[in-house]
Chains A and B, each alone.
Chain A
Amino acid sequence: MQLKKKRIRGALATASCTLLGLSNAASAEEPWQFDSAVLFYSETDRVQAVEPVVTGRKNFGDDHWLNLKMVVDVLTGASANGATASGVAQTFTRPSGKGTYTAAEGETPLDDTFKDTRVALSASWEQPYTRLTKVTYGANFSAEYDFRSLSGNVSVAHDMNKRNTTLSAGISVESDQITPEGGIPTPFAEMVAAGNTTPREGDSETRSVIDLLTGVTQVVNRRMLMQFNYGISSSSGYMTDPFKIISVIDGTTGTNTAGTQGLPYQYFYEKRPDSRTKQSLFWQSKYHLSKDVVDISYRYVWDDWGITSHTLEGTYRWKLKGSHYLEPHVRFYQQGEADFYRHSLVEGEALPEYASADYRLGEFTGITLGLKYGMKISGNDASLRVEYYNQSGDSSPNDAIGAQKNQDLFPDINAMLLQLRYTF
């Protein structure tokens, strides 16, 4: 088995060298290094995903590296559509316009038409520019039923102070195309009954993102490494989620207002600004104790949608006998809501400029607790990781009206994750 693997790797090496027109002599000795993993993700009553990943990495001599990656992401299950739970059963039209789905009394409406497979491919090339400077070029492509994305990036890293300090800067440009089933709904249009025509703005929209990231990495002492990054990201184009709606509520009773387009109740499609500028500050530190390694990081993100967030993360790699290790992981995430986040709209009130009831733009706390167990098997890394994620927000906000006070306006999300990894 080992010999066969070596022959395959050798053949791949020769083939790729010939393709790149590089000298076969020394580089044929360098085998491809593969890393693979499969992720199982499951939210209680909601989304399930299975995600296998494979990466291949090869040194073409003198620190010239090629990295390739392929990810397949299979999603099933249901996702919240933005409408709030109500004291009555609710009916919604599927995005295709050809069917309906329902939510029972007191149940948070979930759209289960949401089934998709995504494939993503990435490639990057890394090489020295001078002895102390290295350059990386990369490209990514991802496609799923209603979404396509293409991006390119370049980054530079320069070492100073006997390579104790590294300055890095990178730029990434991305272009996305969104072609949702049923077309692009008119913002703030009312959801219509199945069989009728939803007011549409067209079949597809685009969006582009430019990212700049710059940072300093510093070796503090023999045991400690530290990193500071500043990033700025500017997106423009179609930022709205075409599948998300907002419940319309009576200003006195807090019950759903009657629908005017064939559905029992009234829901409007959301509307977000057509641009977003997001900035981040990130700090990470790694410390090597006598045998164990501690990793702590903090990130602060703020944007022009009014969202601010704090992420505090810690990992402790506890070295066991031989190559075995146990690694607990904790992540604490706190997010403030977007300026235009609304859990619902009030009938009769003037429509705001923008509004979204997407919980992902709301105020919430996310806590992750994880544990990973790893070891080497015949020189290859193998590991098993299990994590639990809980997201909780304000279930009873102060501005809940009447009957709304009996409902959970920000249900918790609980998810479990299992990851298996093997390098070869």
Chain B
Amino acid sequence: MATERGCTTMRVSALLFGLWVLLLFLPMSALVADPAPSFQIPTNDGVIELKDLKGEVVYLDFWASWCGPCRKSMPWLNRMQEKYDDAGFRVIGVNLDKERELADEFLQTVPVNFQLVYDPEGKLASQYQLLGMPNSFMIGRDGMIQQRHVGFMESKLAEYEEQILQLLKQ
């Protein structure tokens, strides 16, 4: 390894390794405090738009039937919807299953009490630049994205609820 060829090998390896480490830190996400892209929401009273919900705190949750943590998050989302319904809190679940039957089967075993939107082609998911599954966005009364969470962690539930309360106070 004391040879010159050995030194060059090490230098090139180090350079490649450095480049690879840099790639790990490439920025990839939409900035928080962006206006939330609007979209159509089919409700019982007809189709409304997300921007029509300004004044309410909206918890936008992207999920799919094949996502384990999504399954765990549903009971908590149901509880939050029920608890803060009167305070102007609305959960909207966006389903990303490619086949509707899979979502329907899932909802049979895990029923939800909040509004659902179906995005089988992932157009809305692209607009919101999801980084993982599940991915949730807390949208303030001003229509701006205030919090984004990737994944569902039971250990962070208290923190999530705190954030909801903060937004509801505004």
Contacts and interface: CB of A to CB of B under 8 A. Distances in A.
Complex contact flag A–B (Cβ < 8 Å): yes
B38 to A, nearest CB: 25
A26 B154 contact: yes
Interface in A104-159: 131
Nearest to B75: A29
A62 B69 CA distance: 9
Contact of A160 (B23, B132, B153, B154): B23
B155 interface: yes
14 contacts: A26-B154, A61-B154, A61-B155, A62-B153, A62-B154, A62-B155, A131-B150, A131-B151, A160-B23, A160-B24, A162-B28, A162-B131, A162-B132, A163-B132
A223 to B, nearest CB: 12
A26 B75 CA distance: 12
The 4 closest A-B pairs by CB, nearest first: A26-B154, A62-B153, A61-B154, A62-B155
Contacts of A162: 28, 131-132
A26 B153 CA distance: 11
User: Number of contact residues on A: which range applies?
Assistant: under 10
Q: Which of A26, A62, A163 has the most CB of B within 10 A?
A: A62
Interface of B: 23-24, 28, 131-132, 150-151, 153-155
Nearest to B98: A222
Contacts of B28: 162
Interface string A46-67: 0000000000000001100000
A26 B150 CA distance: 20
A258 to B, nearest CB: 54
A280 to B, nearest CB: 21
Given A26-B154, A61-B155, A62-B155, 11 more contacts: A61-B154, A62-B153, A62-B154, A131-B150, A131-B151, A160-B23, A160-B24, A162-B28, A162-B131, A162-B132, A163-B132
A398 B54 CA distance: 87
B3 to A, nearest CB: 22
Contacts of B131: 162
A216 to B, nearest CB: 11
Nearest to A26: B154
Nearest to B155: A62
A94 B126 CA distance: 72
Contacts of B153: 62
A172 B145 CA distance: 46
Contacts of A131: 150-151
A320 B60 CA distance: 38
A298 to B, nearest CB: 25
A254 B115 CA distance: 87
A62 B151 CA distance: 10
A131 B28 CA distance: 15
A421 B94 CA distance: 38
Nearest to A159: B132
A420 to B, nearest CB: 28
Nearest to B150: A131
A162 B125 CA distance: 14
Contacts of B151: 131
A162 B150 CA distance: 11
A61 B153 CA distance: 8
A62 B68 CA distance: 11
Contacts of A61: 154-155
A355 to B, nearest CB: 35
A169 to B, nearest CB: 14
Nearest to B156: A62
A160 B20 CA distance: 11
A29 to B, nearest CB: 9
B23 to A, nearest CB: 7
